Amino acid sequence: MHIGKHIEQVFRDQGRSVKWFADKLCYDRRNIYKIFKRESVDTDLLKKISVLLDHNFFNDIMEEDDTDSLGIN
């Protein structure tokens, strides 16, 4: 799973602005776009994003891993 793209999709589905997201994370807007390009994200940052967007990205990763381990794509 490309977690950055997944974060961006959840974020966009919620209709939030990049400015809102950056302000809540105390990041510069450019850093938000960098997060969206990352294939992996530090667990502390992912936890903050999960709380902020009210979405458990850790579950999504685990579900993806379970599917991959079964040879299902």
The pLDDT tens digits of the residues spanning 1-47 come to: 899 999 999 999 999 999 999 999 999 999 999 999 999 999 999 99
Residues contacting 60, CB < 8 A, separation 6+: 1, 6
Categorize the per-residue pLDDT at 64 as very low, low, confident or very high, splitting at 50, 70 and 90: confident
Phi, psi of 2 (to 5 degrees): -85, 95
Phi, psi of 14 (to 5 degrees): -85, -10
Query: Domain 3-69, CATH 1.10.260.40 — does that match?
Result: yes
Q: Would you kindly state where each structural domain of the chain is located, as residue ranges?
A: 3-69
- DSSP H or E stretch at residue 22: helix 18-25
pTM of the model: 0.85
Q: Which of 1-5, 22-26, 52-56, 62-66 has the lowest mean pLDDT?
A: 62-66
Structure tokens at 58: 């850790």
